[in-house]
Amino acid sequence: MPSLAYQISPTDFRQRRMLQVAIAVLALLPVFAGVCGVVTGAGFLGVAAGPADLDSHVRFLSGLFLALGIGWYSCIPAIETKTERIRLLAILTFCGGLARLLSLLIAGTPSAGHLLGLGMELLVVPCLVVWHGRVAALSRRRV
């Protein structure tokens, strides 16, 4: 069976490859933050060791963040066929961004890293969903 690269036009293949690269690069952030939070607990946030409940909560949420990043990586192979998974991951990420936005409104402006996350969650991820829709549509048109 010929590879997908030979079934679609060079322009369509470039769009697909650029989306794969973008997701690979962007998913580094939740994977890195997740691993750091799992390993160091609240210390990752520059917070001195706090109550055991805070440490437990930070490590749990960091594990979810790590899993979310790995989930994004699982979309890279045959990306044009992963519509449901990408939409689910996007909704989960966007909801996390909404919670982060609520924190900004209630508690004030967080550090630059958290603002970067907020921008990715509420702006970049929806753009990835739209971009993926285009790549998936191009793939369906060619097959």
* Tens-digit pLDDT profile for residues 85-99: 999 999 999 999 999
> Token pair of 55, please?
């440490």
| Rounded distance between C-alpha atoms, residue 28 and residue 23, angstroms | 9
Residues 16-45, mean pLDDT to the nearest whole number: 94
Q: What phi and psi, each to the nearest 5 degrees, are found at residue 76?
A: -65, -50
Could you give the angle at which helices 52-73 and 10-26 cross, rounded to 10 degrees? Answer: 170
Which of 91, 76, 99 is CA-nearest to residue 129?
Answer: 91
pLDDT at 3: 52
pLDDT at 142: 63
